[in-house]
Structure 1
């Protein structure tokens, strides 16, 4: 049975493709990725280990109708988690952004996911180094590391698979431990 839930928000489909790649690399331990616009809070909270992904749109925003996304996404989903108890859950976050065009808000939306799940009591794993990127600033940087895996398909697409593999090697033990402890 799949024990790691994968949820994503998207506008162009790039984040969905990364989520599907992650699920394929993890194999049977991962559930099929689910777009949050098709998920309920109960679906999301049904997992003790989660991988969540988002692009950053506009001025560092989560995807959603208010920022011009084509459909509902994280902006509409996160309010469903207000007051949820995620104590004991382990979450890893990945985000897509464009460090050259949007260097002042590179992968900022990851910070919003991070703030939401930590406010609900979840433990976040998978901090990622800021080296190898050329952005100016990001809300997703805490203690000189991204709160999750930062990907730039626009300028560093050739690095995506290598970064995903290294990140999965880092987070998989903690995610599997969370499932085993449940």
Structure 2
């Protein structure tokens, strides 16, 4: 069986809760959760597929744990490894950098040679701009649990089904 590693930060409770919901949606314990604060660089290379998650803080910043890891990611050999990204943001209070964390992580993983998967539509969101938006696609699963909590479960389920196809599992 192909191994899927889900990396997220434990210091943000909301992101941790979403990571667990994603893991549950895959079922059968196909996804191993690894807190980013405890992750070693070689752990990224030891999984067949990666799911990474972050929140976006303030004016588009990554939480400290990812911010510190980004320079190290570019040194990893992740050639053609499939990586899916999910991110939390607030499109009402931060419409000019909604889920920018997704875009920042996407850039770092692409620089390490990874192949991004799990793109989603920006339909159903209202924001001005985002680093996560490229060619009218979001570079991962965007969740706004502050303003659209009722859409979270359905968005996760659809995204996990999409990832199963893109991962070939």
TM-score, with normalisation over the residues of structure 2? Answer: 0.94
Cα distance, 1:2 vs. partner? 6.6
Q: How many residues align?
A: 169
SS for the counterpart of 2:7 is: strand
Structure 2 residue 94 is matched with structure 1 residue 94: no
Deviations 1:35-88 (A, max 9, x none): 211111111221120111100001101101xxxxxxxx1111222222211113
Query: Which residue is 2:111 aligned to?
Result: 119
**Matches of 2:2 and 2:146 in 1, distance apart?**
32
TM-score, with normalisation over the residues of structure 1? Answer: 0.88
Structure 2 stretches lacking a partner, 5+ long: none
Query: Which residue is 1:30 aligned to?
Result: 30
Query: Which residue is 2:161 aligned to?
Result: 169
**Matches of 2:26 and 2:2 in 1, distance apart?**
10
Structure 1 stretches lacking a partner, 5+ long: 65-72, 178-182
SS for the counterpart of 1:138 is: coil
**Matches of 2:10 and 2:67 in 1, distance apart?**
11
What root-mean-square deviation, in Å, do the aligned CA atoms of Structure 1 and Structure 2 show?
A: 1.5
